[in-house]
């Protein structure tokens, strides 16, 4: 069923239409005859000179006079063959009134902390603050905590009003066309993992891209200069799906750390790092071709020779901006073994019978952090990956903030292609350097797996959170020379984040250079800061943005977090941040998330989406829009309007 001939269309505006795509669901398309008598879902026609931008300043919202009537929505549902769902947050079951349902509420309470629950719900994103805490799960009444239901409200309009459960190209096309023609805000949810609020919007029409899970292994594939193994992948395949295909076909693919992420959804479109990134590059670097529904509603193919701008932009230029990706062809590698070393050190007492950790004084602890990072270029040059946390007890929000802190450092060093003996020998100089400053660890026996799939196999599931984030892609030059000012400045910035700020520090350390990215990956919109980068630092502030924190408190909490992230920026002038794990309010996000690619991306955005059909906070061109009625918070529950000029 591959290479079906597309029902050829006479309307060829912006894109070249080619006669091949990946899967049978991509053969079910909206035809020109379908829209002849239904102008609501007619295709878009940008005029070559002046694009037909809506003259209305704002997108419409439920309750507006021009909001489609129930009959119109019903007609739309018929066009979709019944794939329309009314947006309804699951926590509504916990509020008194007509939606109250004790059993359902208990179920929601039990499961809402899991990404497995979030991904199966059509409406909700992974966090609550992103919707302005529109219908949060009310806190369980707790003695001593004077929380009443008055602190919680369930506003259904803070969520997408309608959801198209997309299983075919036709569903995606009809949703885009209706949203564009009716001036309705359009949002795309895949798994709902996004930290920034790019996957939700109040009063929107949502396309739910969670059902396109087809996979096909291609043992021998040629695309331009690439000859090798490949796979056709549906845009809804998640990490755990790809792991099972890796086992089945005895292959390796670049996958995220999180087990439930949509790999060719937001992950790869925003960059996408994982265990193999120093060896095989980013998620975006794997893409050989793409199938995309664009803002005019047309279904197009993009590869290094076809619709080159679109192909360039989607690989790293961010999801929800240039089109809706329905499938891709991506690189595949032979199965490779992997070894992983893990050790910890900490201040304060060691509890339980924890092994492989030692307790050291504060001063030695921070010296140890320097020693660890001084080995990072060597680890990445061997195509390995560092992964670590520096935790602080108590964290920022705990009572007794002023008592002295204890810290612990946990890390894993993953070495693809190494057997256990090689890995142990490779780690030895790092352990020796730690021993030399009084961190008396023994070189741990690495965990060895015959394949990456075996290494990461586990029941899928990630936690959800309601935190705000900070990100910085520190360049290689920050870690190259442990005597340099930039190395020391980096260490000072990390230390103050944890020690003074009281936040947990996390980094994943990798080097997806252009050379590693190869063809066609090296020529894409991936943030240039990734190419120069080695240390991807993230910091979180969880628990400060829920319904119990007033907008003013949330603003203050974020301001404090940002002051500490600012020290990372000052320590790495000109570097960037990773859009998928960053602060929604990243200052100068255009430079941070996109670097010197931003201007070209904006030109492409204006060309392929002159209507502004696709909006996501911090996406290319998003600074021309604002969500109103959010009390100064960067949340998504309000009405989307153009910024006044």
Ligand X SMILES: *[C@@H]1O[C@H](CO)[C@@H](O)[C@H](O)[C@H]1NC(C)=O
* Binding footprint of ligand FAD on the chain (CB under 6 A): 126, 188-195, 198-199, 209, 235, 256-258, 261-262, 265-267, 269-270, 272-274, 319-320, 324-325, 462, 580-581, 616
Task: Find out whether 328 and 310 touch, Cβ atoms under 8 Å.
Answer: no
Residue 402 binding target from ligand X, ligand FAD, none, CB below 5 to 8 Å by type: ligand X
Using CB under 6 A as the binding rule, whether residue 404 contacts ligand X is answered as no
At 592 the three-state DSSP class reads helix
Tokens of 453: 């799939």
Q: How far is the CB of 198 from ligand FAD (least distance, A)?
A: 3
What's the rounded Cα separation, in Å, for the pair 581 and 637? 21
Residue 261 binding target from ligand X, ligand FAD, none, CB below 5 to 8 Å by type: ligand FAD
Among 84, 92, 105, 627, binds ligand X (CB under 6 A): 84
Q: Which is nearer to ligand X, 79 or 572 (CB)?
A: 79
Among 47, 55, 402, 404, binds ligand X (CB under 6 A): 402
Q: How far is the CB of 351 from ligand X (least distance, A)?
A: 7
Q: How far is the CA of 413 from the CAs of 115, 169, 333, 375, 390, in angstroms? A: 26, 42, 21, 11, 15
Minimal CA–CA distance to 331: which of 371, 301, 289? 289
Query: Which region, judged by CB under 6 A, interacts with ligand X, from 32-40, 234-242, 375-383, 596-604?
Result: 32-40
Q: How far is the CA of 476 from the CAs of 308, 322, 414, 525, 536, in angstroms? A: 30, 31, 18, 20, 11
Q: Which strands, in side-by-side order, build the sheet including 162-165? A: 84-86, 162-165, 205-208, 186-189
Question: If binding means CB under 6 A, how many residues of this protein chain bind ligand X?
Answer: 23
Q: Which is nearer to ligand FAD, 497 or 530 (CB)?
A: 530
Q: Which residues contact 102 (CB under 8 A, 6 or more apart)?
A: none
Q: Which is nearer to ligand X, 377 or 544 (CB)?
A: 544
Using CB under 6 A as the binding rule, whether residue 142 contacts ligand X is answered as no
Residue 475 binding target from ligand FAD, ligand X, none, CB below 5 to 8 Å by type: none
Is 597 exposed, middle or buried (CB count within 10 Å of its CB: 0-12, 13-18, 19+)?
A: buried
Among 3, 37, 71, 225, binds ligand X (CB under 6 A): 37
DSSP string, 516-552: HHHHHHTSS-S-HHHHHEEEEEEEEE-SSSSTTS-HH
Among 96, 144, 352, 632, binds ligand X (CB under 6 A): 352
The count of C-alpha atoms lying within 13 angstroms of the C-alpha of 619, restricted to the half-sphere facing its C-beta, is 29
Q: How far is the CB of 635 from ligand X (least distance, A)?
A: 17
Task: Find out whether 472 and 575 touch, Cβ atoms under 8 Å.
Answer: yes
Backbone angles phi, psi at 332, to 5 degrees: -135, 145
Q: How far is the CB of 294 from ligand X (least distance, A)?
A: 24
| 451 Cα distance to chain centroid | 26
Q: How far is the CB of 228 from ligand X (least distance, A)?
A: 13
What's the rounded Cα separation, in Å, for the pair 443 and 460? 30
Minimal CA–CA distance to 604: which of 355, 335, 327, 318? 318
Using CB under 6 A as the binding rule, whether residue 65 contacts ligand X is answered as no
Question: Which residue, chain included where needed, has tokens 């502004």?
Answer: 612
| Consecutive H or E run containing 177 | helix 169-182
Q: How far is the CB of 82 from ligand X (least distance, A)?
A: 3
Among 360, 376, 525, 526, binds ligand X (CB under 6 A): 360
The conformation of residue 584, written as its DSSP 8-state character, comes to T
Using CB under 6 A as the binding rule, whether residue 139 contacts ligand X is answered as no
Tokens of 413: 């060093």
Residue 198 binding target from ligand X, ligand FAD, none, CB below 5 to 8 Å by type: ligand FAD
What's the rounded Cα separation, in Å, for the pair 449 and 455? 5
Task: Find out whether 167 and 122 touch, Cβ atoms under 8 Å.
Answer: no
Residue 190 binding target from ligand X, ligand FAD, none, CB below 5 to 8 Å by type: ligand FAD
Among 16, 86, 378, 559, binds ligand X (CB under 6 A): 86
Residue 452 binding target from ligand X, ligand FAD, none, CB below 5 to 8 Å by type: none
Using CB under 6 A as the binding rule, whether residue 334 contacts ligand X is answered as yes
Residue 513 binding target from ligand X, ligand FAD, none, CB below 5 to 8 Å by type: none
Q: Where are the beta strands (DSSP E) in 175-274?
A: 186-189, 205-208, 215-223, 226-234, 251-252
Q: Which is nearer to ligand X, 405 or 605 (CB)?
A: 405
Q: Which is nearer to ligand FAD, 190 or 414 (CB)?
A: 190
Residue 84 binding target from ligand FAD, ligand X, none, CB below 5 to 8 Å by type: ligand X
Q: Which is nearer to ligand X, 48 or 352 (CB)?
A: 352
Q: Which is nearer to ligand X, 39 or 49 (CB)?
A: 39
Q: Which is nearer to ligand FAD, 581 or 585 (CB)?
A: 581
What's the rounded Cα separation, in Å, for the pair 19 and 15? 13
What's the rounded Cα separation, in Å, for the pair 190 and 178? 20
3-state secondary structure 367-432: HHHHHHHHCHHHHHHCCCEEEEEEEEECCCCCCCCCCCCEEEEEEEEEEECCCHHHHHHHHHHHHH
Residue 272 binding target from ligand X, ligand FAD, none, CB below 5 to 8 Å by type: ligand FAD
Residue 86 binding target from ligand FAD, ligand X, none, CB below 5 to 8 Å by type: ligand X
Q: How far is the CB of 403 from ligand X (least distance, A)?
A: 8
Residue 122 binding target from ligand FAD, ligand X, none, CB below 5 to 8 Å by type: none
| Residue nearest ligand X, CB atom distance | 82
139-147 own/partner pairs: CB under 8 Å, 24+ apart:
139/548, 140/109, 147/548
Among 69, 150, 483, 644, binds ligand X (CB under 6 A): 150
Tokens of 165: 């459960």
Using CB under 6 A as the binding rule, whether residue 335 contacts ligand X is answered as yes
Binding site for ligand X (CB under 6 A): 33, 36-37, 77, 82, 84-86, 146-148, 150-151, 250, 334-335, 352-353, 360, 402, 438, 440, 548
């Amino acid at each position: 069923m591959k290479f079906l001939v597309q029902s050829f269309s006479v309307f060829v505006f912006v894109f070249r239409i080619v006669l091949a795509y990946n899967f049978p669901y991509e053969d079910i398309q909206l035809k020109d005859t379908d829209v002849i008598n239904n102008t609501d879902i007619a295709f878009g026609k940008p005029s070559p000179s002046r694009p037909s931008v809506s003259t209305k300043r704002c997108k419409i919202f439920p309750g507006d006079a021009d909001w489609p009537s129930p009959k119109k929505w019903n007609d739309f549902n018929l066009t979709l063959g019944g794939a329309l769902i009314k947006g309804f947050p699951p926590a509504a079951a916990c509020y008194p009134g007509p939606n109250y349902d004790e059993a359902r509420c208990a179920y929601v309470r039990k499961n809402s902390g899991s990404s497995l629950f979030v991904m199966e719900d059509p409406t909700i994103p992974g966090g609550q603050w992103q919707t302005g805490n529109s219908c949060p799960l009310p806190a369980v009444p707790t003695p001593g905590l004077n929380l009443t239901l008055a602190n919680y409200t369930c506003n259904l309009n803070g969520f997408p009003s309608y959801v198209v459960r997309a299983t075919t190209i036709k569903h995606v096309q009809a949703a885009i066309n209706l949203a564009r023609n009716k001036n309705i805000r359009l949002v795309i949810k895949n798994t709902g993992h996004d930290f920034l609020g790019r996957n939700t919007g109040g009063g929107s029409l949502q396309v739910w891209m969670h059902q396109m899970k087809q996979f096909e292994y291609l043992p021998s594939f040629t695309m331009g200069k690439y000859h090798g193994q490949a796979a056709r992948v549906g845009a809804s395949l998640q990490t755990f799906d790809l792991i099972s295909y890796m086992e089945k076909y005895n292959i390796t693919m670049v996958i995220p750390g999180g087990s439930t992420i949509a790999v060719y959804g937001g992950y790869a479109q925003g960059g996408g790092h994982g265990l193999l990134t120093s060896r095989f590059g980013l998620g975006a670097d794997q893409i050989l071709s793409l199938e995309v529904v664009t803002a005019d509603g047309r279904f197009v193919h993009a590869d290094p020779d076809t619709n080159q701008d679109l192909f360039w932009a989607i690989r790293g230029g961010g999801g929800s901006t240039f089109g809706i990706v329905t499938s891709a062809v991506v690189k595949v590698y032979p199965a490779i073994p992997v070894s992983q070393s893990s050790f910890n050190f900490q201040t304060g007492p060691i509890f339980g019978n924890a092994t492989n950790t030692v307790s050291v004084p504060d001063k030695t602890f921070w010296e140890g952090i320097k020693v660890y990072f001084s080995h990072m270029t060597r680890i990445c040059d061997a195509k390995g990956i560092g992964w670590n946390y520096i935790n602080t007890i108590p964290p920022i929000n705990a009572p007794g903030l002023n008592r002295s802190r204890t810290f612990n450092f946990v890390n894993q060093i993953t070495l693809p292609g190494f057997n256990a003996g090689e890995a142990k020998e490779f780690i030895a100089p790092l352990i020796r350097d730690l021993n030399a400053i009084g961190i008396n660890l023994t070189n741990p026996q690495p965990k060895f797996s015959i394949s990456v799939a075996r290494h990461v196999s586990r029941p899928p599931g990630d936690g959800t959170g309601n935190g705000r984030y900070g990100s910085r892609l520190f360049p290689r030059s920050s870690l190259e020379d442990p005597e340099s000012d930039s190395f020391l400045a980096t260490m000072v910035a990390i230390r103050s984040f944890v020690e003074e700020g009281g936040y947990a520090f996390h980094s994943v350390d990798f080097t997806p250079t252009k050379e590693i990215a190869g063809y066609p990956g090296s020529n894409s919109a991936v943030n240039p800061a990734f190419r120069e980068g080695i240390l991807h630092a993230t910091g979180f502030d969880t628990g400060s943005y829920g319904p119990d924190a007033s907008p003013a408190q949330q603003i203050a909490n974020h301001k404090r977090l940002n002051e500490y992230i600012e020290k990372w920026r000052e320590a790495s002038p000109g570097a960037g941040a990773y859009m998928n794990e960053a602060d929604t309010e990243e200052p100068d996000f255009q430079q941070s998330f996109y670097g010197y690619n931003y201007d070209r991306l904006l030109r492409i955005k204006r060309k392929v989406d002159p209507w502004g059909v696709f909006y996501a906070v911090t996406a290319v061109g998003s600074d021309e829009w604002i969500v109103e009625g959010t009390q100064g918070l960067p949340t998504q529950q309000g009405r989307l309007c153009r910024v006044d000029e």
